Amino acid sequence: MKIAVVGLYSIKNVGDNVLCYSTIHLLKQMLPKAMIVEIDANPPMETAKKYGRLRAFIARVMIHFQKDLFSYECHTRFRYWYEKTMWKLKAQRYFADKLKGCDAVVFAGGGFLKFRTQGLNYYVEQIISIARQQNALVMMNGVGIEGYDEEDIRCQKLKGMINDSCVKVITTRDDIDILNNNYITNKDILTSRVGDPALWTPDVYDIHRAETVRDIVAVNLIRGNVYKDYGNKLTPLALENLYRHLLRELDSRGIEWVLFSNGMKADNAFGKALLKSMGYQQRDKLVTFSSTEEYMRYLSSVACTFGARLHACIISYAMDVPVVGLIWNDKTRFFSEIIGKRQYFFDENELDVPKMVDAIEQAIKDSHDPQLREGLRELTREYVQKFCDILKAEKKTAREV
């Protein structure tokens, strides 16, 4: 049996990497003899060139003009066909090659049910279309859902594709009501809200809460324009000032802190500029990691994580580390509500720095509910198992025929 696990392998973001390998970990538990094929949902341009240099060049030119052509709010048919062509030129031949002979395709968590940013909806369309042609079964495992819009062609095309008969299971870490009531029309598809696959990372990497905890708060970085890119009002300058005031408030209360990122270049650059403007030495206040294991081992030992990227929050929670965080889109809000800690997370209308530091101090004294966390993990595992059972039954029927 050959199973393709689709995720963002090449993006330098710990969160995307752990989603891939957590999903692979669960599949190997249930189908130990299966061959796993890793498929990058957003392959680098160098990979695209191997499947046609002219196609890759045209895609690169189209990508260059895309940001100037379309605003966040734009959802015209022209935009849809422009971007669909752009991403098809870049990735279709790669997907077709990697999916040859696969019996199943599993999307490894992350924001695959989204359409306003990043373009993953076009990759989902391509991959499911190829899976259908090859009679491969499809699962979307603990994916994020970032909204729904009856008027947005990107949303409606994505909706049409995920209801294909080859799709058997879709689970979400986010809003199950939007999934069931707005997206799903094929009632044969199994759906559920489950825990994010990254909740399995302590098992995948064999790293758990450290016995000796550092008396330090790890402050997660995020690029300055992320709020604006997701339709919020907070400007890059306002976000920089928020971090500056947060760090000064921690200093005033005698709380030690360090900055860290999930590995993305823009986030690191934001942190370096922030420290320079505040007169801190980068080597003392910005920690970097050479591997996911090093990242997790460090977070496992801190008193609290102040998260900006979702998976800094999820990985900390998975390792029983106290966590406080920023909400800049629905996925972090849903996570905070699912774990029963909404009071420790702050959207752009709640950015009161003293209250945020109060939350950090309170979270350190608080504890996570281990039964709730284990229940979320088990739901993720349960639905991967259900998909594997469907896959095995289909293979058995095919052999008998």
pLDDT digit string (tens) for 238-284? 999 999 999 999 999 999 999 999 998 899 999 999 999 999 887 78
Within 10 Å of residue 80's Cβ, how many Cβ atoms? 20
Residue-level pLDDT at 147 = 87
pLDDT for 232: 84
| Amino acid sitting at position 131 | A
Residue 118: the pLDDT is 82
pLDDT at 318 over 60: yes
Q: Does the pLDDT of residue 397 top 80, yes or no?
A: no
Please provide the DSSP assignment of 299-365 as one string.
HTTSSEEEESSHHHHHHHHHTT--EEEE-SSHHHHHHHHHTT-GGGEE-TT---HHHHHHHHHHHHH
pLDDT digits (tens, 9 = 90+) for 75-115: 999 999 999 999 999 999 999 999 999 999 999 988 899 99
Q: What is 256-303 written as a DSSP string? A: -EEEE-SS-HHHHHHHHHHHHHHT--HHHHB---SSHHHHHHHHTTSS
When pLDDT is cut at 50, 70 and 90, the band that residue 400 belongs to is low
Q: What is the mean pLDDT of residues 312-322?
A: 97
The C-alpha atoms of residue 327 and residue 372 are separated, in whole angstroms, by: 22
Can you list the domains of the chain with their CATH numbers?
Answer: 2-202+375-400 (3.40.50), 207-368 (3.40.50.2000)
Beta bridge partners of 113: 145
**Sorting pLDDT into bands at 50, 70 and 90, what band is 396?**
confident
Burial 238-276 (b: 16+ CB within 10 A, else e): ebbebbebbbebbeeeebebbbbbbbbeebbebbeebbe
**pLDDT (average), residues 388-395:** 91
Give the lowest-confidence range in 209-213, 222-226, 280-284, 372-376: 280-284
The answer to whether the Cα torsion of 70, 71, 76, 77 is positive or negative is: positive
| Residue 33: φ, ψ to 5° | -95, -5
Q: Are 263 and 289 in contact (CB under 8 A)?
A: yes
pLDDT attached to residue 13: 85
Report the pLDDT value the prediction gives residue 111, as an integer from 0 to 100: 87
Cα distances from 113 to residues 34, 99, 245, 292, in angstroms, run: 27, 21, 35, 25
Percent with pLDDT over 90 in the chain: 84
pLDDT of residue 138: 98
The two three-digit tokens of residue 130, written as one number: 């190829």
**Taking 70 as the threshold, does the pLDDT of residue 401 lie above it?**
no
Q: Amino acid identity of 248?
A: R
The pair phi, psi for residue 115, each rounded to 5°, is -145, -10
pLDDT digit string (tens) for 134-189? Answer: 999 999 999 999 889 999 999 999 999 999 999 999 999 999 999 999 999 999 99
Q: How many helices (H) and strands (E) does the chain have?
A: 17, 12
**Per-residue confidence band for 231, with pLDDT thresholds at 50, 70 and 90:** confident
Tokens of 56: 């890759």
Please compute Rg for the chain using Cα positions.
Answer: 21
pLDDT score at 153 = 96
**Residue 225 pLDDT greater than 60, yes or no:** yes
CB–CB of 324/304 below 8 Å? Answer: yes
What is the rounded average pLDDT for all residues in the chain? 94
* Cβ-contact 58, 91 below 8 angstroms: no
Ordered strands of the 217-220 beta sheet: 257-260, 217-220, 304-307, 323-326, 345-346
Going by the DSSP 8-state scheme, the letter that residue 195 receives in this structure is -
Q: What is the pLDDT of residue 33?
A: 94
Angle between helices 310-318 and 14-30 (to 10 degrees): 50
Pick 342 or 71 by higher pLDDT.
342
Q: What is the reported pLDDT for 217? A: 98
Q: What end-to-end distance do the CA atoms of the chain give, in Å?
A: 17
Nearest alpha-carbon partner for 9 in 129, 18, 159, 24? 18
